[in-house]
Amino acid sequence: MKFLDLAKVYIRSGSGGGGAVSFRREKYIEYGGPDGGDGGRGGDVIVETVEGLNTLIDFRYQQHFFAKNGQTGMGKQRTGKDGDDILLRVPVGTEVLDEDQETVLVDMTELGERFVLAKGGNGGFGNLHFKSSTNQAPRRANPGQPGVERTIWLRLKLIADAGLLGLPNAGKSTFLAATSNARPKIADYPFTTLHPNLGVVGIDNSEFVIADIPGLIAGASEGKGIGDRFLGHVERCSVLLHLVDGASEDVVADYETIIAELEAYGGHLAEKPLVTALNKVDALNAEERAEKRALLEQASGGKVFEMSGVAKEGVTEVLRALRAEIKQDHARQKAEEEGEAEPWTP
């Protein structure tokens, strides 16, 4: 299945049906009077998160979603049928944006969440509604309200606990394949992953989800390469794992390139907990390992792990560090939610 994380969609809710102008006409009934019914209500356009989806590819082939109009009212006080709603099924983690691609209408992070994007128009009143003591034979009815037509954008941000960052060929896909059930493309020639991959990692009887984000290059925030369009997928992560290619001639420059792109992206991405690992250490001797690790620790101001995704050296220590950061973040979020809850009072 092709990965698609951004889609433009045109929606329109149903218009309400018009009211009816009708009078009762029956044999042997002298005074019939008005009996025109109201029009039916137009259908809504609703977005809902469902299970089993991890891409917006369905919206590549259908971009227009129109709800049904309400039926007009009828005689004998019959109300028109309401228009059918239309449902947009999206994966968990989808943001719905206005046409400007900046205003967030709703951020859907839970399974089964529903939101009305466009409300259907109300049906018009029939002439029965206007009957009064001074106007016993009204010959007027209201038209139904028009539906709402708008353009929206759907943007998917993957739900993952940890995100993998690094320059192209830093070994992110190899690490993901070695630690999880994911099977990203891996080859013995230089290339970069073109779309994010998700994998479930198991460590010490616990599991968490990790996302492999396509490699960044210098100037990605300005649109170079594939740009920073995929960085949105790690905005929800609790921790970021920064892999630095140990075979690189200048590991400090590689490290600072990614940090600069995170800061240029904006938001809280640069403030997230960061675990740094010197990858591909199986290709280095002891002296080169120590030298490059010391340079990275000086540049990052924190601990740097040594690991090799191919040889599976130091992988367990890195996964445990990620799990510890994820647990801390979950505990912090739980404390914030409990603090926001109002205390119970009798």
Residue 190: pLDDT band with limits 50, 70, 90: very low
Closest by Cα among 36, 88, 37, 91 to 62 = 88
Instruction: Find tokens 């994380």 and name the residue.
Output: 5
Residues paired with 106 in a beta bridge: 96
Q: Identify whether the C-beta of residue 114 lies closer than 8 Å to the C-beta of residue 179.
A: no
Residue 191: pLDDT band with limits 50, 70, 90: very low
Distance CA 294, CA 286 (A): 12
For residues 22-34, give the mean pLDDT: 82
Q: Is the pLDDT of residue 255 over 70?
A: yes
| 176: its two tokens | 């993901």
Distance CA 187, CA 275 (A): 26
Distance CA 149, CA 261 (A): 38
Torsion of CA 217, 219, 220, 221, to 10 degrees: 150
Closest by Cα among 250, 245, 218 to 306 = 245
Angle at 143 (CA atoms; ends 141, 146), nearest 5 degrees: 165
State if pTM tops 0.85.
no
For residues 224-246, give the mean pLDDT: 75
131-141 burial: b if 16+ Cβ within 10 Å, else e: beeeeeebeeb
Q: Identify whether the C-beta of residue 281 lies closer than 8 Å to the C-beta of residue 313.
A: yes
Question: Listing from the earlier edge strand, what are the strands of the sheet with 6-12?
Answer: 64-66, 6-12, 149-156, 94-97, 104-108
Q: How many CB atoms lie within 10 A of CB 6?
A: 15
CATH topology of domain 1-156: Spo0b-associated Gtp-binding Protein; Chain: A, (2.70.210)
Domain boundaries, the chain: 1-156, 162-339
Q: Identify whether the C-beta of residue 245 lies closer than 8 Å to the C-beta of residue 213.
A: no
Query: How is residue 28 annotated by DSSP?
Result: T
What is the model's pLDDT at position 187? 44
158-184 burial: b if 16+ Cβ within 10 Å, else e: bbbbbbbbbbbbbbbbbbbbbbbebeb
Dihedrals phi, psi of 251, to nearest 5 degrees: -70, -30
CATH superfamily assigned to domain 162-339? P-loop containing nucleotide triphosphate hydrolases (3.40.50.300)
Question: Listing from the earlier edge strand, what are the strands of the sheet with 86-90?
Answer: 86-90, 45-49, 114-118
What is the model's pLDDT at position 1? 46
Condensed to tens digits (0 to 9), the pLDDT of residues 221-231 reads: 555 555 566 77
Angle at 2 (CA atoms; ends 102, 5), nearest 5 degrees: 10
Distance CA 98, CA 95 (A): 10
Mean per-residue pLDDT over the chain, rounded: 83
Q: Is the pLDDT of residue 103 over 80?
A: yes
What is the model's pLDDT at position 221? 54
